[in-house]
Amino acid sequence: MILKLDFFLITNMYGIAIMYGVTSLLLLGGFAYLSFKMTSKK
């Protein structure tokens, strides 16, 4: 826990950038997947 917290504090900028990128990719992927499923159902 302590090592992970220190690593996160040291790479705070990179951590935020990676988390933001992953979250945006997941949101976009989920939205595209849901829209594709709804379109395919119709």
pLDDT digits (tens, 9 = 90+) for 1-42: 566 767 767 777 787 888 899 999 999 999 999 999 999 876
What pLDDT, on the 0 to 100 scale, is given for residue 16? 84
Query: CA-CA distance, 9 to 17, in Å (whole number)?
Result: 13
Please report the pLDDT score of residue 8 as a whole number: 65
- How far apart CA 2 and CA 18 sit, in angstroms, is 21
Q: In this structure, are residues 15 and 8 in contact, taking their beta carbons and an 8 Å threshold? A: yes
Per the confidence metrics, is the pTM higher than 0.85?
A: no
